[in-house]
Amino acid sequence: MSSSPALPTKLPDWLPADEMLRTVLDMSLTGLIYYTPILDPADKHTIVDFAFVYLNPAAQRMMSMPERPTLTHLQQWPQSKAHGTFDFHVDAFVSGEPRSYNINYQADGYDNYYCLVARRTGPGLLVSFTDTADQPRSPVEISLRASQAREQVARAEAEAQRQQLERMIMQAPACIARLEGPELTFTLVNPLYQQLVGNRVLVGKPLREAWPELIEQSFPELLQQVYRTGETYYGNEQVAYLDRTNSGRLDPVYFNFIYQAIRDSNETIIGVLIFAYDVSEQVQARQLIEAQELKTNILNEELAATNEELQAFNEEALANNDELSRTQISLHQLNQQLENRVAERTMALQTAQMETEHQRQRLETLFMQAPAAICILGGPDLVYELVNPSYQQLFPGRSLLGKPLLAALPELQDQPVWHTLRRVYQTGISHEETAIHIPVAEYENGPLKDFYFNYIQQARYDEQGQIDGVLVFAFEVTEQVLARQASEASAHRLQLLTDALPVLIGYLDRDQRYRFANQAYKSWFNREPQELLGQRVVDIVGQEAYQGIEGYIERALAGENLDFEARMPYRKDFVKYIRTSYVPDVQQGQVVGFYTLINDITEQVMARQQVQSLNEELAAINEELQASNEELLDSNQQLTRTNVDLDNFIYTASHDLKAPITNIEGLLNALREELPPEVASTDSVGPILARMLDSVNRFKRTIAHLTDVSKLQKEHSPASTPVELSSVIDDVRLDLAPFLHETQAELLLHLGDCPAIVFPEKNLRSVVYNLLSNALKYRAPDRPPRIELRCRREEQYTVLEVHDNGLGIDDIQRPKLFSMFQRFHDHVEGSGIGLYMVKKMVENMGGYIVVSSQPGQGSSFFVYFRN
């Protein structure tokens, strides 16, 4: 089988493959038949027939057949082999290459000119064909409108899903933005992200234009790096200086963020997704705590110094009470100041701790409300410490919190997700997966269910910078993956079908630009289909050809369904006659484009013109034939009268000559009895009497044969009954037993399950007798006769075969073999009328007889009895 050719251009997302496939099948102006081969049981490499699998509506109409006939190809069209169409089908399947065939099929109840194109597709054969008859269009329109309705429903569902996702993004308690293209142009920002820049417009602008204050900071380069490499970047408490009020004043803002590459269906990077949290309050609270701790340390140092001073004061106080009193007063004041400072520090520390707890709770709330599945796994056993509702919904019947991962989900032990989690915990290197397959059970001891996820596994660090857990951030994408797989499979089936179809299928928008073109365009315009996308139709087909369809295009864009034929001079050396359907694509009451289905009818048009020319010639020939037929009619009437006269003559002669011959025979017998024995036995009298009696006997046999011929000529519908051939052969063998014994002949019978033959029994016996007796009479003198009889059944005939090893018949004598009174060997007695009568008896019952022979080797007779 040949390799598959390049598939056609990928279908747009808004053009469902399944609906496109059904629409193409239903609206196709050409008939489509899909067969599977039937192989010879004895030789698995030989195709003996084809079974119908599917006929599209056009094929059902043109062939007057159901969608899946129960007959095979040869049962439906018995003359297919004689016309060469069956061999064409076999050649197309065996070669694996496209094949075309034109045929004026006038058999099996069909009389039309067909153009066929066939190619092996999958395990079967796809045949596309057209005829010269007009084709109704209403089924195409009905099918197309149904397809458009289904397409609108599918689009509405997709739009609802898109809006739901957009609402989730817009309501997410995080800063989310999407940038696309090499310039990193904003295509989406949610409200929290927009708040970072006030009323400044971001969507539709490149990053450097929308956010100029970031140019000298590291963020643009990080985004470009993710766009180039596809590697996700994680930022932790990184500071960005932003003009949040658009006044020119830059304020520091701290973020935890993720930069993740966005890929299309071909895994090509098309942009970057930003997912960020403003952690400025947490960072500032921590900084405040650190500042308070620094102040506390300073106060402690001051307190230590003061204590030393007090010690000195105490020593001096022993010497001076007045000074001691003053010192005590100062000390009391100092202690009061220290207590106030400690109280202030304690209050600030408590405030910072409360703020930190508030930020922790806010972060936990954010995790619990996030639309993504989030969990935190702690310790070397990866114990569930946090599970948000989105994560828990994946396992509605299982308890997770407080359990080690493998205790909660033991089925993960041999899966890659467990090993990557262990690697992240051990190395601290984040791990990311896209559309990974993870089979898990939703309920305890339940069956495994297939899930697909996009997720990130990121290490968690404690205050000492040591890894103490793993954060998992995941999105379930099972429906998207299954939908994509189904879409890809459907698109692949559609691509296989459109690749095999000899019709041009396309879609043009309101600007008359191609948005879809199938593989058939390549053979017409010598360009790959994807090269046509975005090109105007006039630039592809040429100005001269465009003038012929411009008006139709304008009508289609106005909302009119069209079917038309046109002559298209695409190039000087490339002119086509086409039959085209334009079907508007109406969405929300507006025509946004139209589908085009172009069928090449060049050969049909040329054939039509040729048929018209032939019809004119045939009209002239028919006039001549009419005159000839009138002459033949006169001749036939004359021959009929002659045959009647001949039959009357034979009948009269056979009856009128019987009495004279009988009288002559009686006189000869009387003469032989009256002659003296010595006279009758003389050499001059005896032989003469014998020859005279022999002549009389031959004359009697000839008269009897003429009588049989006369009866046979009039016997066109003799009474027939089912006759067992074997019993007739047994009777004839008994009659010929002396002759068989005399010649030492070997008679071989291979009758098998030969069915009863509907034939007059006496005539069947005469046929078998003549063929067997001739095989014995015309035997070769140098070898004993060997006669073999076979019987086989065909669709319309039961065939009796008689093979011998006798003298044989040369090619010159063979045309006269079945003529009356023909004898080719004088050494054998006979009248030369036996085979003539055999032929007549078989033909009178709708059969025929055929002979093949080699002189000196033998002859074979094939008698075809009509079933």
Model confidence over 653-684: pLDDT tens digits?
Answer: 665 666 677 767 777 777 777 778 776 677 77
Q: Is the pLDDT of residue 49 over 90?
A: yes
Q: What is the pLDDT of residue 496?
A: 73
The H or E element containing residue 476 is strand 467-476
- Both tokens of 685, joined, read 């009298």
Phi, then psi, of 612 in degrees rounded to 5: -60, -40
Lowest mean pLDDT among 132-136, 306-310, 794-798: 132-136
Q: What is the pLDDT of residue 99?
A: 92
Instruction: Decide: 758 and 720 in contact? Cβ < 8 Å.
Output: yes
According to DSSP, the β-strands at 269-278 and 175-180 are: antiparallel
Alpha helices in 675-829 (DSSP H): 677-680, 686-714, 725-735, 737-743, 761-777
Q: Is the pLDDT of residue 137 over 90?
A: no
Confidence category of residue 2, pLDDT binned at 50, 70, 90: very low
pTM for the model = 0.31
In the block, tokens 């984040």 appear at 430
Averaged pLDDT, 186-191: 91
Instruction: Decide: 469 and 385 in contact? Cβ < 8 Å.
Output: yes
Averaged pLDDT, 183-194: 91
Confidence category of residue 575, pLDDT binned at 50, 70, 90: very high
**CA distances, 376 to each of 173, 367, 383, 403, 470 (Å):** 19, 10, 8, 12, 6
What distance in Å separates the CA atoms of residue 495 and residue 805, rounded to the nearest whole number? Answer: 63
Averaged pLDDT, 252-274: 89
Q: What is the pLDDT of residue 475?
A: 87
What distance in Å separates the CA atoms of residue 705 and residue 710, rounded to the nearest whole number? Answer: 9
Confidence category of residue 6, pLDDT binned at 50, 70, 90: very low
Confidence category of residue 403, pLDDT binned at 50, 70, 90: very high
Q: CA neighbours within 13 Å on the CB side: how many for 692? A: 16
385 alpha carbon, distance to own chain's centre: 51
Q: Residue 41: helix, strand or coil by DSSP?
A: coil
Confidence category of residue 141, pLDDT binned at 50, 70, 90: very low
What distance in Å separates the CA atoms of residue 863 and residue 867, rounded to the nearest whole number? Answer: 12
What distance in Å separates the CA atoms of residue 599 and residue 123, rounded to the nearest whole number? Answer: 26
309 alpha carbon, distance to own chain's centre: 98
Q: Is the pLDDT of residue 118 over 90?
A: yes
According to DSSP, the β-strands at 746-750 and 786-793 are: parallel
Instruction: Decide: 197 and 247 in contact? Cβ < 8 Å.
Output: no
Which is higher by pLDDT, 42 or 340?
42
Task: With CA atoms as reference, report the closest residue to 254 among 275, 233, 281.
Answer: 281
Q: Is the pLDDT of residue 397 over 50?
A: yes
Confidence category of residue 313, pLDDT binned at 50, 70, 90: very low
Confidence category of residue 699, pLDDT binned at 50, 70, 90: low
3-state secondary structure 261-288: EEECCCCCEEEEEEEEEECHHHHHHHHH
Q: What is the pLDDT of residue 333?
A: 63
Task: With CA atoms as reference, report the closest residue to 56 among 32, 29, 36.
Answer: 32
Task: With CA atoms as reference, report the closest residue to 516 among 5, 6, 12.
Answer: 12
State whether the Cα torsion 650-656-659-664 is positive or negative: negative
Q: Is the pLDDT of residue 689 over 80?
A: no
Beta strands in 527-656 (DSSP E): 562-571, 574-587, 590-600
Averaged pLDDT, 239-248: 88
Q: What is the pLDDT of residue 5?
A: 44
Q: Is residue 589 left, alpha or beta, with left meaning phi > 0 and alpha meaning psi from -120 to 50?
A: left
- Both tokens of 153, joined, read 């429903």
pLDDT (tens digit, 9 = 90+) per residue, 53-105?
999 999 999 888 999 999 999 999 999 998 899 999 999 999 999 999 988 88
